[in-house]
Amino acid sequence: MTSAPTAPLTVLVGRPRYEGANIRTWIGFKHFIYLVEEAVLQWLRDRGPGARDLFHSHGLGVEIVDCSVQLPAVLEVDDEVRVEVDGESAGRLTVRMTVFRDGREQVVLRGKVRVALVVEPAATTSAPAPAHLADLVVPTLGAAATVARPDHRPIRPGETVADVLTPVGSRSFLWTWRAPYFYCHFSDRVQHSGYVRALEEVVDRFLAARGISVGRLVRERSWIPVVSRARVRMVEAARMEEDVHTVLTVTDVLRGVMFDARMDCYVRRGERLVHTATASILHGYAISAGPQAGELAEFDDEVLRALAGGVA
């Protein structure tokens, strides 16, 4: 078995998708993570084989199972980004994303990524994995999880999903969505980016349900959402077209200008809720107009009450 050719630092040069420019020309956090995914796939190609050949020749599905990012600066439409991926194993990669702005290089993302190669029952060939990737092979997605204690929960007779996930007195927010095929990999399961999309949407739905929707704060206060940190981890496979029960819980308010929240996703199988993903996000607002433009917005009583579980 031959070893992988020695490869230097992987570098991907690209631009964010226009889809991510939702407020003025700023790019949302989801599209930072999309660029990280593209760079990780290039890391595999540089060392060989890439995701296509791993599936068709080895019966293995490439999956990002854990991705954490810090976003110290903004990214805009038309920015040319340089994404560097470093690490000898896809199980432990570090990522750095920069732009050249105002005459200097500026870091816009620092991240860490873990990748697994999942044995795919639907594949028609299954040659042994290349030696330099063999340690990444797992029989199921759950075998690659970085969560030490998955939060699987029983459903007792007479209980509903809401009873279990958001019992009376809970300040958490519950949203259920059907896992569409275009969020999935290999005709089978929700992929990492599907949960990134879910994280963005559940925060949006939570804020609207609490009376402080993104649209309202943009119109009335010129507050625009800012995400400075996010992490999404896969726990178990959620299958195509299963209902994914998603819970968002605000866990902390930091210095009155940011809130920390956790997302947990579950699917019901029989009388059990299987924990399929968990995520965290640090969210705040920047003021986009007026004398305080560019500063972080301070939460007032209305916003604090909404974050604590009331309706603004």
pLDDT at 4: 52
Task: Give the span between the Cα atoms of 84 and 138, in whole angstroms.
Answer: 26
Alpha helices in 63-165 (DSSP H): 161-165
Per-residue tokens: 15: 């631009």
Residue 245 has pLDDT above 60, yes or no: yes
- Mean pLDDT for 71-88 is 96
Residue-range domain boundaries for the chain: 7-141, 147-311
Average pLDDT of the chain is: 94
pLDDT at 125: 84
Q: State the DSSP string of 139-162.
A: SSGGGG---SS---EE--TT--HH
Instruction: Kindly report each contact of residues 265-268 with a partner whose C-beta sits within 8 Å and lies 24 or more positions away, as own/partner.
Output: 265/195, 265/198, 265/238, 266/151, 266/153, 266/161, 266/165, 267/238, 267/239, 267/242, 267/243, 268/155, 268/161, 268/243
Q: Which fold has domain 7-141?
A: Thiol Ester Dehydrase; Chain A (3.10.129)
Residue 2 has pLDDT above 60, yes or no: no
Q: Which of 45, 48, 17 is nearest to 33 (CA)?
A: 17
pTM check: above 0.85: yes
Do the domains 147-311 and 7-141 match in fold? yes
Q: Which fold has domain 147-311?
A: Thiol Ester Dehydrase; Chain A (3.10.129)
Residues 144-189: tens digit of each pLDDT:
998 989 999 999 999 999 999 999 999 999 999 999 999 999 999 9
Task: Give the span between the Cα atoms of 69 and 77, in whole angstroms.
Answer: 20
Residue 312 pLDDT level (bands cut at 50, 70, 90): low
